[in-house]
Amino acid sequence: MTSEPIDDTDRRIINALQGGFPVCRQPYEAAACRLGIDEDELISRLGRLIDERILSRFGPMYDAEKMGGAVTLCAMSVPDHRFDEVAGLVNNRREVAHNYARTHQLNMWFVLASDEPAEIATLIAGIEDETGLKVHDFPKQEEYFIGLRVGA
């Protein structure tokens, strides 16, 4: 897939939509209007940014803990020859998000989110049983917000 460089309009979209998305009957139209473009262009550009992996996703971020649930960061040491297999098993769980490969002994990192805090241990045990590999749990100790702004 050939990636087009992002232009000023893409930058404005990325920067503006991080600060909130309209909650109304036609949110894309409202967001596009604020950006000075039409709704079809906004939707098309978001699709291209995701397809070209400039953005990994576009959607809401929920605070599971404030809603009574739990979130934790997990890591695994996965043999290279099993990486795709294990990634598939892990990613098949609806509770898994943000699964990334890393160049480290712990080469697979992912986030587990659950409606029930007590369920995290059960989810980890299930992944360990299914993969035969140890899951290291790194619960959040402190939270930081990092705003990403794309410059020229």
Nearest residue to 108 via CA among 136, 129, 144: 136
Residues 64, 114 contacting (CB under 8 angstroms): yes
The verdict on domain 8-51 having CATH code 1.10.10 is yes
Question: Per residue in 10-40, pLDDT tens?
Answer: 999 998 888 788 889 999 999 999 999 999 9
2, pLDDT greater than 60: no
Confidence of residue 145 (pLDDT cuts 50, 70, 90): low
Give the pLDDT confidence score for residue 152 in this predicted structure: 57
The verdict on domain 70-139 having CATH code 3.30.70.3270 is no
Q: Which helix (H) or strand (E) holds 72?
A: strand 70-76
Say whether 70-139 and 8-51 share the same fold. no
As a whole number, mean pLDDT of residues 138-148 equals 73
Confidence of residue 84 (pLDDT cuts 50, 70, 90): very high
Task: Sketch the domain layout of the chain as residue ranges.
Answer: 8-51, 70-139
Give the pLDDT confidence score for residue 106 in this predicted structure: 96
Q: Which of 43-47, 64-68, 99-103 has the lowest mean pLDDT?
A: 64-68
Residues 6+ apart with CB under 8 A from 4: 48, 52
Q: Report H helices in the chain.
A: 8-17, 27-35, 39-51, 83-91, 119-131
Geometric angle at alpha carbon 81, from 136 and 135, rounded to 5°: 10
Give the pLDDT confidence score for residue 81 in this predicted structure: 97
Q: Report H helices in 52-146.
A: 83-91, 119-131
